[in-house]
Amino acid sequence: MSSDLLVVGLSRMAYGETLALQRTLAEARIDGRVTNDMLLLVEHPPVVTLGRSFEKKNLRTPPEELAARGIELFEIERGGDVTFHGPGQLVGYPIYDLNEHKPDLHLFLRQIEECLIRTLGESGVAGRRREGLTGVWVEDRKIASIGIHVKKWITWHGFALNVLTDLSFFHLIVPCGIDEVVMTSMQRELAEQAPHDLWARALDGVMLAFCEVFDQTPQAVTVEDIQYRISNIEY
Amino acid sequence: MATKVVMEALSPTMEEGQVTKWLKGEGDKVASGDTLAEVETDKAVMELVARGDGVLRKIVVPEGTTVEVGSLVAVIGAEDEDISSFAVDTAVPPAVESSDGGAADVAALPTGAPPVPVSGDSDRVKATPVARRMASERSIDLAAVRGSGPGGRVVKRDVEGAVATPPAAAITGPAGFEDVPLTQIRKTIARRLAESTGPVPHFFLTTEIDMERVVEARTALNALDEGPRVSYNDIVLKVIAAALVEHRACNAWWQGDHIRYFNEVHLGVAVAVKDGLITPVLRNAHLKTLRQIAVEVRDLAGRAREKKLQPHEYTGSTFTVSNLGMLDIDQFTGVINPPEAGLLAVGSIVEKPAVEDGQVVVRKRMRVTMSCDHRVIDGAVGARYLQTVRRMLENPLAIVW
């Protein structure tokens, strides 16, 4: 049965602000004030985040140096190790109730990978999975990272797809804790074939892929719309 | 009666999970629905929720330890209950009914933080209802609009004027540009779903410019006989860049869910090459002298024809200029180079009759046509930009004004 997916375009938003918003929306989804799945799409200013399986050696750069370079640092509740978000990277936070799909976390991770592989395919980039290494790869180069959190089968956190990302930032860390991993972006893979509107295409592609994979219909809403819905039922 | 806390199966393919963090400690009171610990499998973290009330008596599996699905990880019991029989029992059958329990516990959860109220600043500004509605639709901060109505009241035309400059609520990006979110991402969806490759919604504005003084200025400059000869195209590029600095609304990219307004002008200069067209980029054109432009454009065009441009030399432009004047085209319309919002098509300078002070005189005239992406540039905004271009070309000193 097809349901509505509320797509929230946040444009550029600081990591901390988006994190607070995600937690608010996930709570609202858990207690039923929001009854639709949501997909937040956002671009973050430079930030390094440490997931639950973070190992200290994988943060190559001391926190003070990150701060001096204007890069924020967050320790958060998602799965996975250390990662970087920054301009040109399309970050998506699916807040889904897996009870309404399939309560299977591994399947959900594979479905997110499927969405990203389809998005890449639309622009002519051959994304693929690698056994045991969640994320999306182009040959052996990593183009998208995934890390989620689930409570009562409600998901938050999500994926980061390198569209036009300045990849030099990844030298600050050992991405995902995998030594020697080479990061790539759609722009790098396409080189001269990269269309001018790559960002808009990736944005559209991700939204459509989620709708296809989860059999949903997109509904564009603003943050204010959702906050209004939440408050409307609450008071 | 004590309750076992076991490693739950979060996926049929999950065989083991790692307890990454205990959120409750031994001796803590817990209620059904409380999050006890976080469990990680693959790249997903799941909260392990209490299925009974009491005290967390025993943590069997320490943080960082991976155990099989179904293994006992902790015991919840009454404060004085004897749990010695559980502490050693690690071979408990898997908890398969986990999802049901989760759904039933919903009410026990604290509600999220109250929603942030919409800023009330705009309410204190005097404005007509129409102006207020328009401002709200276009995400314009009324406090930032100068009111021209009675008593400084903000009226409709003030809000319309404010569209030309990005609203105050804009999100600031790194130095070179500013991203302004759209009020509705719906536009993107409509574009993509209605027609898979929707064309840029163009409209066109044409104006005819008197070039007598540009011709004089160029003749005088070249009479100096110093370095590169200046072409009409160089002067036109210089003016287009200078005018874009004054009209940032036309120096922008359509980004699907937002508009990116640039503070810097990177001009794409269309160059015909043997098997097509390439658009090298004159970077920071607004900062360059006419002489620099003359040198750089010749270099770029020359290497474009030899196909020796590097990718960074033909990407990243913020506005494009296409000049077919040298091919005797009087007037034409160019196709916008997405995601840019505008393009100026420049025709040739021709002598033709013009009316001046009621007399028909022969003047050197040039027609330019601007193509605009209507999602970014409104008609009047484009027209005002062309007015500036025209004013500068009809009085070239205005460039240095």
Give A-chain residues touching B342 at CB under 8 angstroms: none
Catalytic residues of B: 374
Tell me if the bond preceding A63 is cis, omega within 30° of 0. no
In B177-257, the DSSP E strands lie at: 177-181, 202-210, 252-254
Q: Which two tokens stand for residue B293?
A: 């432009």
CATH of domain B122-185: 4.10.320.10
Task: Look at B32 and B112; give whichever has higher pLDDT.
Answer: B32
Report chain B residues whose CB lies below 8 A from the CB of A147. 43-45
- Cα–Cα distance between A176 and B305 in angstroms, integer? 45
Q: How many CA atoms lie within 13 A of A191 on its CB side?
A: 2
Cβ <8 Å between B257 and A9: yes
**Looking up tokens 């958060």, which residue turns up?**
A76
**CATH class of domain segment(s) B3-98:** mainly beta
Window 1-60 of B, Cβ < 8 Å to A = 10-14, 18, 20-21, 35, 38, 40-47, 49
Q: Which pLDDT score is estimated for A79?
A: 80
Q: Where are the domains of chain B?
A: 3-98, 122-185, 201-399
Instruction: Provide the b/e sequence for B47-77 (b: ≥16 CB within 10 Å).
Output: bbbbbeebbbbbbbbeeeebbebbbbbbbbb
All residues at 6 or more sequence positions from A16 whose CB lies less than 8 Å from its CB, including other chains: A72, A74
Quote the pLDDT of residue B249.
94
pLDDT digits (tens, 9 = 90+) for B248-283: 999 999 877 788 999 999 999 988 877 677 889 999
Q: Residue A31 is nearest to which of B13, B111, B118, comparing CB atoms?
A: B111
CB B42 within 8 A of CB A145: no
Residue B32: Cβ-neighbour burial (10 angstroms; 0-12, 13-18, 19+) = middle
Which residue of chain B comes nearest to A235, CA vs CA?
Answer: B114
- Cβ(B177)–Cβ(B263) below 8 Å: yes
- Reduced to 3 states (helix: H, G, I; strand: E, B; else coil), residue B352 is strand
Our separate counts of H helices and E strands in chain B read: 10, 20
Q: What is the mean pLDDT of residues A172-183?
A: 82
Distance CA B316, CA B267 (A): 9
Mean pLDDT taken over chain B: 79
User: How many contacts (CB atoms, under 8 Å) link A and B?
Assistant: 183
How would residue B55 be classed by pLDDT, with cut points 50, 70 and 90? very high
CA distance to partner chain B, nearest, from residue A61 (Å): 22
How close does chain B come to A78, measured CA to CA in Å? 6
CB contact under 8 A, B44 and A148: yes
Give the per-residue pLDDT at A127: 95
Q: What is the Cα–Cα distance from A174 to A72, expressed in whole angstroms?
A: 16
Indicate which CATH number applies to the domain containing A83: 3.30.930.10
Alpha-carbon span B202 to B343, nearest angstrom? 10
The answer to whether residue A234 is domain-embedded is no
- Kindly determine whether residue B315 and residue A7, on different chains, have CB atoms separated by under 8 Å: no
pLDDT at residue number B121: 41
Quick check: A59 and A173 in contact, CB under 8 A?
yes
Q: How far is B52 from chain A (nearest CA, A)?
A: 15
Query: pLDDT tens-digit profile of B160-216?
Result: 766 544 433 333 333 577 776 554 333 444 444 333 334 677 889 999 999 999 999
Residue B336: per-residue pLDDT: 85
The confidence score (pLDDT) of residue B163 equals 52
Asked whether residue A204 is domain-assigned, the answer is: yes
pLDDT of residue B100 exceeding 50: no
Q: Out of 3.30.559.10, 3.40.630.30, 3.40.225.10, 3.10.20.740, which CATH number does the structure's domain B201-399 have? A: 3.30.559.10
Whether residue A160 contacts residue A144, with contact meaning beta carbons closer than 8 Å, is answered with yes
Residue located via tokens 């320490």: B62
- With beta carbons less than 8 A apart as the criterion, state whether A206 and A198 touch: no
What pLDDT shows up at residue A128?
96
pLDDT in tens, A71-109: 999 988 888 888 999 999 999 999 999 999 999 999 999
**Residues of B in Cβ contact (< 8 Å) with A88:** none
How many folded domains does chain A comprise? Answer: 1
The nearest CA of chain B is from the CA of A73 a distance in Å of 19
Among B42, B178, B314, the strongest candidate for a mutation testing the A interface, having the largest count of A CBs within 10 A, is B42
Find the radius of gyration of the CA atoms of chain B: 34
By C-alpha distance, which of A164, A200, A204, A202 is closest to A184?
Answer: A164
More confident residue, B178 or A127: A127
Specify the range with the lowest mean pLDDT, choosing from A122-131, B182-191, B351-360.
B182-191
Please tell me which residue in A6, A82, A163, A176 is annotated as part of the active site.
A176
Spatial distance between the Cα atoms of B353 and B365, rounded to a whole number of angstroms: 9
Q: Which residues of A touch B111 (CB under 8 A)?
A: 27-28, 31, 33, 234
Whether B48 contacts B20, CB under 8 Å: no
Angle between helix axes B290-305 and B232-246 (nearest 10 degrees) is 110
B171 neighbourhood in chain A, CB within 8 Å: 11-13
Which among A2, A24, A21 is positioned nearest to A10, based on CA atoms?
Answer: A21
Q: Which residues of B touch A13 (CB under 8 A)?
A: 171
C-alpha angle B354-B359-B364 in degrees, rounded to nearest 5: 25
Residue B41: list chain A partners with CB under 8 A. Answer: 79, 105-106
Q: Is B276 on the interface with A (CB under 8 A)?
A: no
Q: Which residue of B has its CA nearest to A147?
A: B43
**Residue A48 belongs to what domain range?**
3-229
Interface of B with A in 321-340 (CB under 8 A): 337-340
* Per-residue model confidence (pLDDT) at position A187: 92
DSSP E strands: which ranges in B138-190?
Answer: 171-172, 177-181
List beta partners, residue A158: A147
Greatest mean pLDDT among A63-67, A225-229, B166-170, B178-182 lies in: A63-67
Looking at chain B, which residue has its C-alpha nearest residue A194? B315
Q: Identify whether A206 is part of a domain.
A: yes
